[in-house]
Structure 1
Amino acid sequence: MTNKPIANLAVIGLGMATKPHLEALDELRGKVHVSGVFNRTRAKAEVVSEIFGFSVFDSLDAIAADPNTDGVIIATPPNQRSEIVSMMAAAGKHILMEKPVERSLQAALDIVAECEMNGVALGIMFQHRMRQAALRLREIIEQDDLGELALVRAEIPWWRDQAYYDEPGRGTYARDGGGVLISQAIHVLDLMLSLTGPAKTVQALTATTQMHKMEAEDFAAAGVTFACGAVGSVVATTATYPGEQERLVLDGTKATAVLNGGHLTVTWRDGRTETVGDVSGTGGGADPMAFPCDWHRDVIEDFSRAIHDKRPSRITGREALRVHALIDAMIRSNALQKTVEVETV
């Protein structure tokens, strides 16, 4: 007797961001079945089919109508999401989507509401949460071994060259919804909020440096207060050559935790220390895809098991709204030049 896959997924959109998705699905053969791939440029889909052996769908309608497809992975640019989500949700297909949910907080709210209305699961690819070091840090916080959280520092000193932004639509509000905040820093900010709880207020500055010719921001900094009572800071940029690993520091009353890329160091007040994780690349340098597919694999497997077990996935669309609310507040704060409240979602 052969084991059936826990889910059958189709992949929609085959741009640069899909590389770790495809590699992860390749590793998940036997657990997760790929019912097919689709791209608006069929030639790209055929190349993927030749490399991985996945079938090619001729249209979105064909995916929506396919009784053997349980869900879809949507990895298109953000401005193409709404129409695809509407079609797939109406067809009862569960959805795992590349970040962000959409280009604005309101558009993200609309997508989450639509999926909930149609009774389909919505998961978001925030793979940084699946790193071994991040999972251990969550465990430490849940066990109250960090103590009361007092100070939070998020630093994302990444680099993208001008060629990256020369791609049509990249770094624009119309296609991407913004710059470094929604396209790069969103991963670290989501991880931060998953550990700290929601942000309460923000005072921010965003700007485009002379390093890049682009419409949206390549630099953002903010002072943040959190609902838990902690205060903190965020600094994010894609203008720091050659790019460094992101850093998240949580200072508690019992210990300080430093998450440097995928490596965690915890230093307790009693002199104990603990280190967890590795120094794998995270895409902070000139090559945005310089990281392993392991974290994507774990998100996809969890999402597939959630479909099978009829439970929420570990990273739901509704939970992802918190980082959209924070980014929205940072943009509003810069525009108004004052402290603003982060919308409760």
Structure 2
Amino acid sequence: MASKIRFALIGCGAVASAHAKAISALPQAELVAVAGKSAERLTAFARAWGLDAYSDYAEMLQRTDIDAVSICTPSGQHGEIAIRVAEAGKHALVEKPIEVLLAKAEEMIGAFRSRRLKLGVISQHRFDPDVVRLKGMLEAGVLGRPVLASASVHWYRNQAYYDSGQWRGTWAGDGGGVLINQGIHTVDLLQHLMGPVEEITAHAATMTHRMETEDTATAVLKFAGGALGTFSCTTSAYPGYASRLEIIGTAGSAVLEGEALTQLYLNNGDGAAPVNEANSIGASLTEKGAVRGGNPAAGMGGDAFTEQYRDFVKAISEDVEPSVNGEAGRSALAFVLAAYRSAAAGCKVKVSDRLDT
């Protein structure tokens, strides 16, 4: 393998530029090619980034100088493309969600595992510094035993957004609506911080948009560790608000708003007035004895998207597991599909069930 990990992109839509920017920011990586269906968009993207352009990704995969492929296509195409990438002997980093069906996601995971190739799924907010620090606090028991988590993704998308692509807001192309598209990042963070969700009771509806799937969803959760939780998401919240994740433990509480930890209250049991320690989190971690060794955020120089790429490049170069692997992507998908099944059936659903429909 070359000293640099050489990447190619499949798909050159809106999110592809973020991938190209992240790869280009890393001295250990190089972006060399892109494949796409729209000739006009493909030509413009390839010219802007100085890449070889392919109308057929299968032809691009025949190149022996490509080590890894970033898959930026509509969600319903992820599985088929990723498996062909694995068959070509290349690593893959897939946009969220990993797929729209659990069976296909598991087939993807198996295709890469059997060939000792790396499979990663985009969930860049795990690499936000405050998320990393909060994860460390929870693992160190600074907040005590988790009791309750409440997450919300109250964003706004106009009708033009859903009309901009035939796949948006469809079951076949998008795998669902707000829950699987906008909400899945927070779904992943929720389980990353709190552990797996065991049971879900959900409702979903189309409230304000013309679309096949839901623009609003709510769920009541039971975590495997015993904590309870709620989750709500919508693309009808004009003008749009930062995503919010509140975690309450027996010894304190914390609130993430967007990428920032805005509230952190630790209960010392001494009757002192509550103090928001969010802005002095480093000092509070040290004083509370939280373990900071091996902190993935240490030395972060770029944005979280770039840091996920840095992590993936390291996984390839050092033959270690990516921080967000195929199994992590499957876990978030299982949550979403359980919520959809619960909403359709009007009953509580166990996330461990097979949920393909």
Is the contact between residue 79 and residue 98 of structure 2 (CA under 8 Å) also seen in structure 1?
A: no
Q: Distance in 2 between matches of 1:114 and 1:181?
A: 27
**Helix, strand or coil: the match of 1:175?**
helix
| Aligned residue type for 2:12 | L
Sequence identity of aligned pairs in percent?
Answer: 34
| 1:173 maps to which of 161, 168, 171 | 171
Aligned to 2:234: 237
Using the TM superposition, give the Cα deviation of residue 120 of structure 1 relative to its aligned residue in structure 2, in angstroms: 1.6
**Helix, strand or coil: the match of 1:160?**
coil
Using the TM superposition, give the Cα deviation of residue 109 of structure 1 relative to its aligned residue in structure 2, in angstroms: 2.1
Residues 160-198 of structure 1 show CA distances to partners (whole Å, capped at 9, x for unaligned) of 000011121210001111000110100001011011110
Using the TM superposition, give the Cα deviation of residue 342 of structure 1 relative to its aligned residue in structure 2, in angstroms: 1.0
Aligned to 1:135: 132
| Aligned residue type for 1:248 | L
TM-score normalised by structure 2 residue count: 0.87
Q: Distance in 1 between matches of 2:219 and 2:178?
A: 13
Using the TM superposition, give the Cα deviation of residue 31 of structure 1 relative to its aligned residue in structure 2, in angstroms: 1.9
Aligned to 2:191: 193
Is the contact between residue 7 and residue 305 of structure 1 (CA under 8 Å) also seen in structure 2?
A: no
Indicate whether 1:335 and 2:338 are aligned: no
Is the contact between residue 133 and residue 276 of structure 1 (CA under 8 Å) also seen in structure 2?
A: no
Using the TM superposition, give the Cα deviation of residue 239 of structure 1 relative to its aligned residue in structure 2, in angstroms: 0.8
Q: Distance in 1 between matches of 2:74 and 2:20?
A: 17
Aligned to 1:95: 92
Aligned to 2:107: 110
Using the TM superposition, give the Cα deviation of residue 5 of structure 1 relative to its aligned residue in structure 2, in angstroms: 4.4
Which is further off, 165-174 or 181-190?
Answer: 165-174
Q: Distance in 2 between matches of 1:48 and 1:79?
A: 23
Aligned to 1:255: 252
Using the TM superposition, give the Cα deviation of residue 58 of structure 1 relative to its aligned residue in structure 2, in angstroms: 5.2
Q: Distance in 1 between matches of 2:224 and 2:319?
A: 31
Q: Distance in 1 between matches of 2:54 and 2:310?
A: 22
Q: Distance in 2 between matches of 1:138 and 1:276?
A: 16
Aligned to 1:182: 180
Is the contact between residue 11 and residue 72 of structure 1 (CA under 8 Å) also seen in structure 2?
A: yes
Alignment of 1:241-320 (within 5 A): 241-264=238-261, 265-270=263-268, 271-275=274-278, 294-320=303-329
Residues 123-179 of structure 1 show CA distances to partners (whole Å, capped at 9, x for unaligned) of 000111111111111111111111100000001111100001112121000111100
TM-score normalised by structure 1 residue count: 0.90
| 1:216 maps to which of 195, 213, 216 | 213
| 1:326 maps to which of 320, 323, 335 | 335
Using the TM superposition, give the Cα deviation of residue 106 of structure 1 relative to its aligned residue in structure 2, in angstroms: 2.5
Indicate whether 1:145 and 2:154 are aligned: no
Using the TM superposition, give the Cα deviation of residue 276 of structure 1 relative to its aligned residue in structure 2, in angstroms: 5.5
Q: Distance in 1 between matches of 2:330 and 2:167?
A: 24
Q: Distance in 1 between matches of 2:132 and 2:192?
A: 11
RMSD: 1.7
**Helix, strand or coil: the match of 2:53?**
coil
Using the TM superposition, give the Cα deviation of residue 204 of structure 1 relative to its aligned residue in structure 2, in angstroms: 0.7
Q: Distance in 1 between matches of 2:18 and 2:146?
A: 34
Using the TM superposition, give the Cα deviation of residue 52 of structure 1 relative to its aligned residue in structure 2, in angstroms: 2.0
Is the contact between residue 26 and residue 52 of structure 1 (CA under 8 Å) also seen in structure 2?
A: no
Using the TM superposition, give the Cα deviation of residue 344 of structure 1 relative to its aligned residue in structure 2, in angstroms: 6.5
Using the TM superposition, give the Cα deviation of residue 240 of structure 1 relative to its aligned residue in structure 2, in angstroms: 0.7
**Helix, strand or coil: the match of 1:183?**
coil
**Helix, strand or coil: the match of 1:88?**
helix
Using the TM superposition, give the Cα deviation of residue 272 of structure 1 relative to its aligned residue in structure 2, in angstroms: 4.5
**Helix, strand or coil: the match of 1:304?**
helix
Aligned to 2:61: 64
Question: How many residue pairs are counted as aligned between the two chains?
Answer: 325
**Helix, strand or coil: the match of 1:156?**
strand
CA distance 1:308–1:272, change in 2 (3 Å): same
Q: Which ranges in structure 2 are unaligned for 5 or more consecutive residues? A: 269-273, 281-301
Is the contact between residue 303 and residue 313 of structure 1 (CA under 8 Å) also seen in structure 2?
A: yes
Aligned to 1:35: 32
Is the contact between residue 171 and residue 214 of structure 1 (CA under 8 Å) also seen in structure 2?
A: yes
